A and B are shown apart, each in its own frame.
Chain A
Amino acid sequence: MSGFVSIRNLRKSYGQFEALKGIDLDVAKGEVVCIIGPSGSGKSTLIRCINRLESFSQGSEIRVDGIPVITGRALAKVRAEVGMVFQSFNLFPHLTVRENVMLAPRRVRGTSRAEAAAQADRLLARVGIASQADKYPEHLSGGQQQRVAIARALAMEPQVMLFDEPTSALDPEMVGEVLDVMRDLARTGVTMIVVTHEMGFASQVADRVIFMDGGQIVEQGPPSQVLSNPQETRTRNFLGAVLNH
């Protein structure tokens, strides 16, 4: 049986360089998957393919909830079901925090202004920044901005949440607050695919850890296995480099 997110033979090239060399991956509903690996391993490219921010080669197939991720009318539908959180937040600087969260429900779902505002305030309370709703993003700390970005993605009530190195651009003291929000989210049963360098988070929260290198999945399994008892040399070398410093 294929997963809620199903990826078959995913290939992507930039000119001569093959960034993804045939990835097969199934993610079940409610599963939390963490993808780790060295930079340039293709892990960000992989999750950016899931909502087709990156195009991919012919013959590759990605489905979300059975809907193929191809350009055209169906794509907006898939994107509305797939939330994404970026490394650099990408909040809309000309809108207040509340308006950032309200925009997509209002425009894509046609939610009324009052309803969208109420929902935005609920979500902002959930990520712990209800008091900042009327501020503009530039007046918030990086950690707060990233929590707004999570609330903004949740406002579309996505079936899957993609996190592309959500804490990599943050000052160290702000990493914790964002990971806490993500931990809460995982507990509520949201399907999550997280590209991260936070091994602690991966080991505590992930149902499955995937180690990628050179555009391929090298090893995967429960965190206790992949992180504590890796079978592959490349995984061992990477974890050795990351953990011993």
Chain B
Amino acid sequence: MDIFDTFLNAEVMRRTFPMLLQGLWITLQLGAASIVAGLVLGLGLSMLRLYGPAPVRFLTRVYIDIFRSIPLLVLLIIVYYALPFVGLRLSPFVSAMTALTLVSGAYTAEIFRAGIEAIPKGQFEASAALGLSGRQTMADVILPQAVKIVIPPLTNNSINVVKDTALASVVAMPDLLKQATQAQALAANPTPLIVAAAIYVAFLWPLVALVSRMERRFAARRR
């Protein structure tokens, strides 16, 4: 038996490709929705973490630490299989998005915090001296500068979120990986798995390369 017939069978590829495309579409939707929701959550958390009253700051830190420690798969299974016991039954998509967002938000909050703390104190003082409010200082002075610093780590985090969407296949989400395993079962041939892997790489490699380039450029400008 030829290795090509086993892993890169053209006939199987042709037959199962539409299934994989459906899965890819769901993976992309889940990834995009979780990234955006995670950014919003993370920005909010970072503000509370930095400028909230002391008890809120403490609770925010606890949240961030917990959700950075918990394995995503464990969280996902709790959301999908445990919450129904308290009457909260979420669809596979919403379960996966919830788990991804909760974790991504925790990481994003730390990224934003680091970015904001990297802005010199003089920028806050100059804003205050001009009479800008705290909110205006953030929106007009601090965040526009912090965003430049946090784009590479945020992109990294987004790559991780897209990769982690594959975990949703364990809660019966018909994402790219799930579709690939099903196609494999139908065709009795592992080619769909290889194709799925290639699709993941094709989408994420350019982003990985982009992050490296941004980081190099950033390092060059710092010098």
Contacts and interface: CB of A to CB of B under 8 A. Distances in A.
Interface of A: 51, 53, 76-77, 79-80, 82-84, 86, 88, 90-94, 103-104, 107-108, 149, 152-153, 156
Q: Which 5 A-B pairs have the closest CB atoms?
A: A80-B131, A90-B126, A90-B122, A104-B130, A84-B129
Interface of B: 120, 122-123, 125-126, 128-133, 136, 140-141, 144-145, 148
B140 A103 contact: yes
Contacts of B123: 90, 92
B132 A53 contact: no
14 contacts: A76-B131, A77-B131, A79-B130, A84-B126, A86-B122, A86-B125, A88-B122, A90-B125, A92-B145, A103-B141, A104-B131, A108-B132, A152-B130, A156-B130
A82 B130 CA distance: 8
A74 B185 CA distance: 71
Contacts of A156: 130-131
B140 A107 contact: yes
Nearest to A152: B130
Contacts of B120: 90
Contacts of A86: 122, 125-126, 129
Contacts of B133: 76
A128 to B, nearest CB: 21
Nearest to B130: A104
B125 A104 contact: no
Contacts, number: 57
Given A88-B122, A90-B122, A92-B123, A82 B136 contact: no
Given A82-B129, A86-B129, 18 more contacts: A53-B125, A76-B131, A77-B131, A79-B128, A80-B130, A80-B131, A83-B129, A90-B126, A91-B126, A92-B141, A94-B148, A103-B130, A103-B132, A104-B130, A104-B131, A107-B132, A108-B132, A156-B130
Nearest to B141: A92
A13 B210 CA distance: 50
Contacts of A104: 130-132
A79 B131 contact: yes
Given A103-B140, A107-B136, A92 B129 contact: no
Nearest to A81: B131
A82 B129 CA distance: 7
Contacts of B122: 86, 88, 90
Contacts of A92: 123, 126, 141, 145
Contacts of A103: 130, 132, 140-141
A157 to B, nearest CB: 11
Nearest to B126: A90
Contacts of A108: 130-132, 136
A86 B123 CA distance: 11
B145 A51 contact: no
A53 B130 contact: no
Contact of A53 (B129, B136, B145): B129
B145 to A, nearest CB: 5
A67 to B, nearest CB: 13
Contacts of B125: 53, 86, 90
Nearest to A100: B126
A91 B125 CA distance: 11
Contact of A153 (B130, B136, B145): B130
Contacts of A83: 129
A53 B128 CA distance: 8
B140 A51 contact: no
Nearest to A53: B125
Contacts of B140: 103, 107
Nearest to A77: B131
Nearest to A51: B129
B144 A94 contact: yes
Nearest to A105: B130
A20 to B, nearest CB: 18
Nearest to A109: B131
A94 B140 CA distance: 10
